[in-house]
Structure 1
Amino acid sequence: MSERLMSKKKPAFPVNKKLDAYLEHYSRKIEIPIFYEDLLRFSGSIVVYDSNDEDTLWVRVYYSEFDRTEIDISLKKVYSILHSDGSDSIFPFLNVDAVDYCTFGNSKPFRIKVRNILNDNFTYFYVKRTDASRIYGLELEHMLSPYNLNFLVYGDTLIEEHIAGIPGDVFIKDFLPKCNESEKSQLAKEFVKFNERCMIRLLGDMRSYNYVIVPTHDFDHVVYKIRAIDFDQQCYEGKLKVYRPQFFKENYQMVMLVKEKLQRNSVDQYKIEERSIVAKRILSSGNRIKRLISIVKTDDISNDDNIVALSQHIYDLTGDINFRRCKTMGEVLALALDFVKRNYEDVSMKQIIENKINL
């Protein structure tokens, strides 16, 4: 199913002048001392296996002695810019433990492991090629999801912070069978809300390995949340199903969980809740999201066939004729977000009027 839904390969789109100015205005564009291409100069690599001795599709790369010294210093600088004040004062306490290269997927990222040598705490960040689609996805996630994201763009290089959590495919295989009935019901609810959020903001390809499950201990139980970790497929594909995680075979067990644990009324309730939350975030984001949407509306981040197809699919779903007039994928996105916002405002105004009448 997944293969039929997705295009074989999505191209990377360049950052235009307007988006570049936007990134600089909001402190996303910062000069960094190393580029993606620099990390490609590795001398060799070894396969990275997981705890079950299975290939992770990542390889650990190594560099010549001369390159390694320069790369280590540069990566520590990037860490300092991303997580601290950008100064060199923390360098003596940092060690670059590993540089891993992913051989799977479109973005071919590098994963950098940085450890504090004083206490052995460590974190990751990612070095990727810049792609306008991904940047729009990251910004929309920052503004419209419950989570803030930290990333940097400089030239053709994108730096992303690590999003902690249990990969969805690992969770479904190893952890879901051990969850109690209450936890399964909660996970079903979160999957419905996650599914709705992805569709509203047109974030595609949320197969189980492109999101994480985040457990949080709260008093006497564990609260689970679902977070996207890959934003490569923002507003590109023409099939609406691509933007709904429920239609990927990798999420079959989560879909079955929803069917087993939630009644239709509950599913509808959670969808309305998520639409309302997204609408509130659109309203609270103010000029920032307006500026981003005005940029994406004129950007070239898909092809004509996909734009026509998605416009028709959303028209069929909403009945809003404006979708059929869209000329760019950004216009489709803008209308989708505006549709959600207008519905929320209409319902809110209706509630206010009814309350006044009741008074």
Structure 2
Amino acid sequence: MEERLMSKKKPAYPVNKRLDDYLSTYNRKIEIPIFYEDLLRFSGSVVVYDKNDEDTLWIRVYYSEYDRKEIDDSLKKVYSILHSDGSDNINQYLNVDAVDFCTFGNSKPFRIKIRNILNDNFTYFYIKKTDASRIYGLELEHMLSPYNLNFLVYKDTLIEEHIAGIPGDEFIKNMLPTCTESEKAQLAKEFVKFNERCMIRLLGDMRSYNYVIVPVHDFDHVVYRIRAIDFDQQCFEGKLKVYRPQFFKENLKMVELVQKKLLSDSVDQYKLEERSIIAKRILSSSKRIKRIRSVIKTDKISTKENVALLREHIYELTLDMDFKKCRTMGQILDLALNFVRRNYEDVSMKQIIEQNIKI
């Protein structure tokens, strides 16, 4: 199914001057002491297996004694820049427990495990090659989703904080069957909202291993949230289905859950709720969102063929002739966000008028 939906390989797009200026303005661009290419100098590796002795598709890499100290010190510095004030004061309490490398997928990230030696608490962060579309994906997630994201960009290197949660594929396989009926209904609702959110902001390829499910304990029950963790496919593919998680076979169990647990009226209501929430976020962060939308509208982050295909698909969905005029993916995204905002404002104004008439 994915072979028909997805392109074989998505290229990495460079950061242009307008995006670079935006990153500087909002403190995303900060000098760091190590680059992605530096981490490729490993001298050996071993396969990383999970608790069931299955290959995780990550390898744990090792460096020569000559390189190790410099790399460790630099990674501790990056951690301090990402999570603290950037000073070296905390370095003595930190240890680099592991540097893992993933050869699967487009981004080929390094995963860094940092441990506090005083209490054994640990966290991860990721080092990847810079890609403009991934940066747009991270920034749009920060502004349009319920979750804030911390990331840094410096030249050809991108640093991302770890997003905690249970990988979707693992949850669906091992935990979903044991969920209560009410938990399954709540998960179905969240999947509908997640599906809608991805489509509206054109975040593609949300197969089950590209998002996590986060359990939140609330009084006497557990509430589940779904978070994207891979932003590589922001505004690239031409097929609208790629931006709707429901069309990937890995999410079939979630789709069946929606069909079993939710009436069509409930699905429509949850879609409307998500569109309204996104519209409110657009309005509340107007200056910053306007600036990133202005930047992405002039950027080249896809092919002409993909742009032509997607604008046709979205026109068929919305019947808005303005989509026919789009020449870039950024213009399509900008119009899609305007479409959501206008609909929300029209409904809100209608409600105000009706209330005034009643009064």
Give the TM-score, by structure 2 length. Answer: 1.00
> What does residue 161 of structure 1 align with?
161
Distance 1:219 1:326 in 2: 48
> What does residue 183 of structure 1 align with?
183
Distance 1:285 1:40 in 2: 39
In structure 2, stretches of 5+ residues that fail to align are none
**1:243-263 C-alpha deviation (Å, 9 max, x unpaired):** 000000000000000000000
Distance 1:225 1:131 in 2: 27
Letter of the structure 2 residue corresponding to residue 80 of structure 1: S
1:246 aligns with 2:246: yes
Letter of the structure 2 residue corresponding to residue 13 of structure 1: Y
Matches for 1:244-283 after TM superposition, within 5 Å: 244-283=244-283
Displacement after TM superposition at 1:216 (Å): 0.7
Displacement after TM superposition at 1:111 (Å): 0.1
**1:298-325 C-alpha deviation (Å, 9 max, x unpaired):** 0000000000000000000000000011
1:217 aligns with 2:256: no
DSSP-derived class of the 1:137 partner:
helix
DSSP-derived class of the 2:175 partner:
helix
DSSP-derived class of the 1:97 partner:
strand
**1:157-211 C-alpha deviation (Å, 9 max, x unpaired):** 0000000000000000000001000000000000000000000000000000000
> What does residue 29 of structure 2 align with?
29
DSSP-derived class of the 1:273 partner:
helix
Distance 2:3 2:274 in 1: 28
Displacement after TM superposition at 1:240 (Å): 0.1
> What does residue 344 of structure 1 align with?
344
Q: Which runs of 4+ in 1 moved over 4 A?
A: none
DSSP-derived class of the 1:169 partner:
helix
Displacement after TM superposition at 1:286 (Å): 1.3
Distance 1:185 1:282 in 2: 29
Distance 1:3 1:79 in 2: 38
1:311 aligns with 2:307: no
> What does residue 43 of structure 1 align with?
43
Letter of the structure 2 residue corresponding to residue 99 of structure 1: V
In structure 1, stretches of 5+ residues that fail to align are none
Letter of the structure 2 residue corresponding to residue 127 of structure 1: I
> What does residue 152 of structure 2 align with?
152
> What does residue 196 of structure 2 align with?
196
Letter of the structure 2 residue corresponding to residue 15 of structure 1: V
DSSP-derived class of the 2:147 partner:
coil
> What does residue 96 of structure 1 align with?
96
> What does residue 328 of structure 1 align with?
328
Letter of the structure 2 residue corresponding to residue 282 of structure 1: I
Displacement after TM superposition at 1:94 (Å): 0.1
DSSP-derived class of the 1:34 partner:
coil
**1:101-129 C-alpha deviation (Å, 9 max, x unpaired):** 00100000000000000000000000000
Displacement after TM superposition at 1:3 (Å): 1.8
DSSP-derived class of the 1:61 partner:
strand
Distance 1:4 1:170 in 2: 24
Letter of the structure 1 residue corresponding to residue 354 of structure 2: E
Letter of the structure 2 residue corresponding to residue 161 of structure 1: E
Letter of the structure 2 residue corresponding to residue 53 of structure 1: D
Matches for 1:63-102 after TM superposition, within 5 Å: 63-102=63-102
